[in-house]
Amino acid sequence: MITALSIILIVLLVSILGGLIRVLRGPEPAERMLAAQLFGTASVAMLLILSRVMAMPALLDVALVFALLAAVTLVCFVVLAAKGGR
Amino acid sequence: MLLDLLALALIAVGAFFFVAGTIGLLRFPDTLCRLHALTKADGLGLGLTCLGVALLAGTAGEVVRIVLIWFFVATSSAVCGHLIARHVRRAANAGGR
Amino acid sequence: MVEPLLLFDALLGLAIVALAVAVLTVHDRFAMIVLFIVFGLMSALAWVRLSAPDVALAEAAIGTGLTGALLLTTLHHIRAAPAAPVPVPGGVVVANLGLCALIFGGLAFAFLLTPLQAPGLAPAVAQNMAASGVGHPVTAVLLNFRAYDTLMEVVVLLAAIVAVWMVERGTVQAPAPVLGEIYRGFSRLALPAIVVIGSYLLWVGAQAPGGAFQGGAVLAAVGLLLLLGRLYRPQPAHRPFARAGFVLGTAVFAGVALLVAGGGRLPFEYPAAHAKTLILLIEGMVTISIAVTLAALFHGREPEAVPVSEKSE
């Protein structure tokens, strides 16, 4: 069970690292932001799986904080972009 | 045992959707297409992962927290997708004039 | 066969180093910020793998909620008021290089000298847990066994906001950004939820991972969202309340430390019967201070009656 979950964790991590190519290439800031959003959700999934693998329910609180605050950076980006300068 | 297998299958399918989302992010031609790939994939991927982990959870308190996590990620990624789409449309309008 | 979890750890470690290199070398400043946000996500996962959920919580709250927003605002600021890059004198470069080398050398020295299987201070903490007044070792260490250091950390935040208020002044007259109906509905749901979770983290800190810094950082995110949506506009008249918020944590922390002294006790030596109450009082006040200070740092200026144009913001 643990082994299988660990392999899934590796798959998720590799998928995040692959997505970094989009961050590097861009070209739109909105796309870079979107990629960060996807990584945030994938990290929540990884934390959920880790809470089982490591038998540490406290990790659910970490995931909860991620889930709640995920929007803050993106809202900041949209507000600043609407203000101009870009 | 059966429950474990079911949970594992759900989590594995969830991870598959994350990978699909990343591929969409890399391969699709423009921002809105990428947004489309991403919002579906991470919504479904995280939903399935939550379901799988909830099946493995030890206590009711953990299940409640997992449900909350799913709920907040679902709402906030929907709102974020909406905000990004608005932003892209507005930027396109401003550029077209 | 290689243990898959070990492989995961190795990959995570490599990813963090690679991200650090990428952040420093990439040319697009926006990509730099996004990479740094991802760097934060990965380090939170690394802290989790090191079995340090407290640090992971702090990293999650600050990394996802605050750092990204702060850096984006900074970038906006730089773009709005483009300044010609000032050439850095060679002496400064050499001095900085020297300092970096010194720090690196010191860290390497300390790392190499550490015995591989040291017992550390964990047994000493475990022995004295009963006297600490709380059930979670990290909170016991932070608020009791090394409270003096923690007080200094709170003072650092206070110093930061004092400096920011000295540098930048003014109020923003810009209209509220149009984020739409859907966002308004979302913020009605999310803001109270963030307040509840922030308070929960503060409360749970006595038994489990959580505490003042984590709770405060989560609550600060509420301040950020209010400021971003212009639901709250800082006014000159609000300054006394803000100032009270900034010093509250430091004042209560130091006050309690001094008041318990005397009668054979040292400062910070809480009487065992009241230890839990005092720690909760300090943590509560420090949480408020951290939340107010971080939100004010994001706002980045003292709200004085000088109107600033959006350009120079």
% residues pLDDT > 70 (chain C): 93
- Please list every residue in chain B whose beta carbon sits closer than 8 Å to the beta carbon of residue C186: 75-76, 79
- Please list every residue in chain C whose beta carbon sits closer than 8 Å to the beta carbon of residue B79: 182-183, 186
> What are the structure tokens assigned to A37, written together?
């959003």
Coil, strand or helix at C80: helix
What's the whole-number average pLDDT of chain C?
83
Put simply, the answer to whether B42 touches A81 (Cβ < 8 Å) is no
How distant is the Cα of A56 from the closest Cα of chain C, in angstroms? 9
- Chain C residues contacting B via beta carbons under 8 Å: 179-180, 182-183, 186, 189-190, 193
Residue C129 belongs to a domain = yes
Q: What is the pLDDT of residue C45?
A: 92
Whole-model pTM: value is 0.85
pLDDT at C311 over 50: no
Burial C72-93 (b: 16+ CB within 10 A, else e): bbebbeeebeeeeeeeeeeeee
CA distance B87 to A84: 12
Q: Which domain holds residue A50?
A: 2-82
- Please list every residue in chain C whose beta carbon sits closer than 8 Å to the beta carbon of residue A82: 177-178
CA distance C264 to A33: 58
> pLDDT tens, A21-67?
888 887 778 888 888 888 889 999 999 999 988 888 888 888 988 88
Residue C78 belongs to a domain = no
> What are the structure tokens assigned to C217, written together?
């950082």
Average pLDDT on B37-43 reads 82
> pLDDT tens, C40-91?
899 999 999 988 888 888 888 888 778 888 888 888 877 776 667 778 888 9
Put simply, the answer to whether B82 touches C180 (Cβ < 8 Å) is yes
pLDDT at B96 over 70: no
Q: CB distance from A75 to chain B under 8 Å?
A: yes
List all residues 6 or more positions away from A69 whose beta carbon is below 8 Å from its beta carbon.
Answer: C60, C61, C64, C65, C194, C218, C221
> pLDDT tens, C85-111?
778 888 999 999 999 999 999 999 998
CA distance C288 to C215: 9
CA distance C251 to C212: 15
Number of domains in chain C: 1
Residue C138 belongs to a domain = yes
- Please list every residue in chain B whose beta carbon sits closer than 8 Å to the beta carbon of residue A81: 87, 91
Q: Which of C4, C37, C51 sits opposite A6 (nearest CB)?
A: C4
Q: Which domain holds residue C296?
A: 119-308
- Please list every residue in chain C whose beta carbon sits closer than 8 Å to the beta carbon of residue A79: 177, 179, 228-229
Q: CB distance from A31 to chain C under 8 Å?
A: no
CA distance C31 to C34: 5
Residue C70 belongs to a domain = no
Instruction: Estimate to the nearest angstrom the gap between the alpha carbon of C163 and the chain centroid.
Output: 17
Q: CB distance from B48 to chain A under 8 Å?
A: no
Confidence of residue C14 (pLDDT cuts 50, 70, 90): very high
Hey, CA dihedral for C25, C26, C27, C33, is it positive or negative? negative
The answer to which of A1-5, A50-54, C222-226 has the lowest mean pLDDT is A1-5
Give me the interface pTM, i.e. the ipTM: 0.92
Put simply, the answer to whether B11 touches A5 (Cβ < 8 Å) is yes
Residue C43 belongs to a domain = no
Q: What is the pLDDT of residue B30?
A: 79
Number of domains in chain A: 1
Put simply, the answer to whether A72 touches C64 (Cβ < 8 Å) is yes
How distant is the Cα of C70 from the closest Cα of chain A, in angstroms? 9
CB C283 within 8 A of CB C216: no
Residue C288 belongs to a domain = yes
Q: CB distance from A62 to chain C under 8 Å?
A: yes
